[in-house]
Amino acid sequence: MNYKLSLVTLLLLNTLNASMDHSNSNENNTSKERSNEFSEDPETKALELKERKLSLNNTLKEEALKSKHAALLTKLQELKWEKELLSEEFALKELETKTSNYEVKVKYEKEIEALEYLARVETINDERANAKIEKEKQERELEISKLKSQIEVFENTKIREKYVNSKPVYLENPLTKENKLVISDRRISINGTIRKSMADEITKKINYFNNKDKKQPIFMVIDRSPGGSALAGYMILKAMKGSEAPIYVVLRGYAASMAAIIVTLADKSFAYAHSTILHHQPLSVAYGNLTEQEEQLKRLESWWIEFGGATADKMGITLDEFKAAMYKNSSNGDWQELAVNAQKLKWVNHIVDTIVDTSVLEEPKKKEPKKRSLLSLSNFEETVNEKGASVVYLPRLSPSDSYFLHNPSGYYQFR
């Protein structure tokens, strides 16, 4: 808008100047013409005077006009100066605004730069702190690793200490001149009540040891057994008889009933002098009517003939003599002898002073006491009857089976 005003003002000034120059030129020409004509006649002179008067009026008007033009020019000049002043002020304001904006920008840039610097410092500090933490973590992990390694070494040492740094001893003739019996790891344990599951396991082990080596002896070690199922004992005796590898039955504690029959009927048997062997007639509980009970009695007699007859044959006496001797030694028919005396009766072959078991290569584990439960009915485990007494309930056997079990105190009971 100011720019357009300046152009209009300049055009107006140029027009006024051109007009004034044209008037001055006309006035000079007119004066010359009048001076030439004034001297000619009065009338002309009067006209010239009138003309000069008009000329003076025109001059006055022109002067007035010039004065007016001068005022306009002055006003225009003032306006021009005001414009320039306003332009200068505007430029100054703009410069101040730019300067202010620049200062604000510089201020903000400095603040941002300071914040970025602080952020970099914080980042460096964080990196140093993280590096320190990582170093401490690695040191702790190294320490933990060392401790774990020490614990592992300690535990491995403890585990190694549980094992013997030797191997089982295998002798084709395990009875030494010092009357010491050396047992290898070809070993089968018979402890507790003899039952079908035990007979199955013993039969498998006898077959396994035979398949591995038919010359080295197999040891069946009895610590304590009151006897058990006649059928299970029969299976064990048949597996022993079918073994090509020699089977040594070793009694270290107590063998009664079916367990005593296994010791006595073995081809080779060994025992400590004060181990106990007990023979008696088979035990049974009859169920059903009279005819069924008579049938059970016949089966019981057949077991007695099978085992009692074989034992009597080894002793060199008849079955009736064996039965009579039982009741002669005990009113209840439980014929019990120490092994040193049982040897004379041919119930055991050898009395040994020492038994060395080289199969024990690991420290024996402590057995935790078993909790009594209803499962004891089928697992031959000890439980408590309704009177509060500790008992073992015997499961019913198959119709063809009977118990060869020593039970003087009624510890083994039937339901």
Average pLDDT over residues 104-114: 84
Q: Helices 196-212 and 230-241 sit at what angle, rounded to 10 degrees?
A: 10
Residues 380 and 231 in one domain: yes
Residues 209 and 305 in one domain: yes
Which pLDDT band holds residue 14 (cuts at 50, 70, 90)? Answer: low
- Neighbour count for residue 59 (Cβ, 10 Å): 15
Residues 115 and 201 in one domain: no
pLDDT at 123 over 80: yes
Collapsing DSSP to helix, strand or coil, 191 comes out as coil
Kindly state whether residue 396 falls inside one of the protein's structural domains.
yes
Q: 46 in the Ramachandran plot: left (φ > 0), alpha (ψ -120 to 50) or beta?
A: alpha
- Classify residue 394 as exposed, middle or buried by CB count within 10 Å of its CB (0-12, 13-18, 19+): buried
- Whether 270 contacts 248, CB under 8 Å: yes
Helix (H), strand (E) at residue 197: helix 196-212
DSSP-assigned letters across all residues of 327-394: HHH-TTS-EEEEHHHHTTTTS-SEEESEEEETT--BPPPPPPPPPP-TTHHHHT--EE-TTS-EEEEE
Rounded to the nearest 5°, which phi and psi values hold at 294? -65, -40
Average pLDDT over residues 327-355: 94
Report the distance separating Cα 390 and Cα 412, nearest Å.
Answer: 9
Kindly state whether residue 284 falls inside one of the protein's structural domains.
yes
pTM over 0.85: no
pLDDT in tens, 46-60: 787 887 788 777 777
Q: Which residues pair with 303 in a beta bridge?
A: none
Full residue range of the structural domain in which residue 99 is found: 93-120
- Whether 273 contacts 340, CB under 8 Å: yes
- Whether 237 contacts 269, CB under 8 Å: no
Q: Among 188, 306, 284, which residue's Cα sits nearest to residue 228? A: 284
| Domain end (from 105, 120, 135) | 120
Residue in this structure with the two tokens 């590898």, named with its chain if needed: 245
Which pLDDT band holds residue 2 (cuts at 50, 70, 90)? Answer: very low
Q: Which residues pair with 354 in a beta bridge?
A: 180
Which pLDDT band holds residue 373 (cuts at 50, 70, 90)? Answer: very low
Kindly state whether residue 22 falls inside one of the protein's structural domains.
no
| Domain end (from 78, 101, 120) | 120
The one catalytic residue in 69, 279, 280, 406 is 280
Per DSSP, 236 falls in state H
Residues 240 and 378 in one domain: yes
pLDDT for the residue 1: 47
Lowest mean pLDDT among 35-39, 76-80, 117-121, 235-239: 35-39
Residues 353 and 235 in one domain: yes
Residues 197 and 304 in one domain: yes
pLDDT for the residue 374: 43
pLDDT in tens, 276-319: 999 998 876 666 678 877 887 888 899 999 999 999 999 999 99
Per DSSP, 308 falls in state I
Q: Under 8 Å CB-to-CB from 275, ≥6 apart: which residues?
A: 251, 252, 253, 254, 255, 338, 339
Residues 226 and 335 in one domain: yes
- In the chain, the percentage of residues whose pLDDT exceeds 70 is 81
Kindly state whether residue 254 falls inside one of the protein's structural domains.
yes
Rounded to the nearest 5°, which phi and psi values hold at 286? -90, 140
To the query of whether residue 279 is one of the catalytic residues in this protein, the response is: no
pLDDT at 375 over 50: no
Kindly state whether residue 142 falls inside one of the protein's structural domains.
no
pLDDT in tens, 58-104: 777 777 777 777 777 788 788 888 878 888 887 878 777 777 777 78
- CA distances to 190, 206, 371 from 217, rounded to whole Å, are 17, 10, 38
Residues 263 and 348 in one domain: yes
pLDDT at 7 over 70: no
Determine how β-strand 227-229 pairs with β-strand 403-405. antiparallel
Average pLDDT over residues 181-194: 94
Q: Which residues pair with 248 in a beta bridge?
A: 219, 268
Q: Secondary structure of 283-296 in the HEC alphabet?
A: ECCCCCCHHHHHHH
Residue in this structure with the two tokens 């296994």, named with its chain if needed: 262
Kindly state whether residue 171 falls inside one of the protein's structural domains.
no
Kindly state whether residue 162 falls inside one of the protein's structural domains.
no
Determine how β-strand 383-384 pairs with β-strand 390-394. antiparallel
Count of domains in the chain? 2
Per DSSP, 194 falls in state B
Residue in this structure with the two tokens 């690991």, named with its chain if needed: 362
Assign residue 235 the CATH number of its domain.
3.90.226.10
- Whether 255 contacts 225, CB under 8 Å: yes
Residues 97 and 226 in one domain: no
The one catalytic residue in 229, 257, 269, 275 is 257
| Domain end (from 102, 120, 138) | 120
Report the distance separating Cα 360 and Cα 354, nearest Å.
Answer: 15
Determine how β-strand 354-357 pairs with β-strand 350-352. unpaired
Average pLDDT, the chain: 82
Residues 112 and 242 in one domain: no
Kindly state whether residue 209 falls inside one of the protein's structural domains.
yes
The larger pLDDT score, comparing residue 92 to residue 376, is at 92
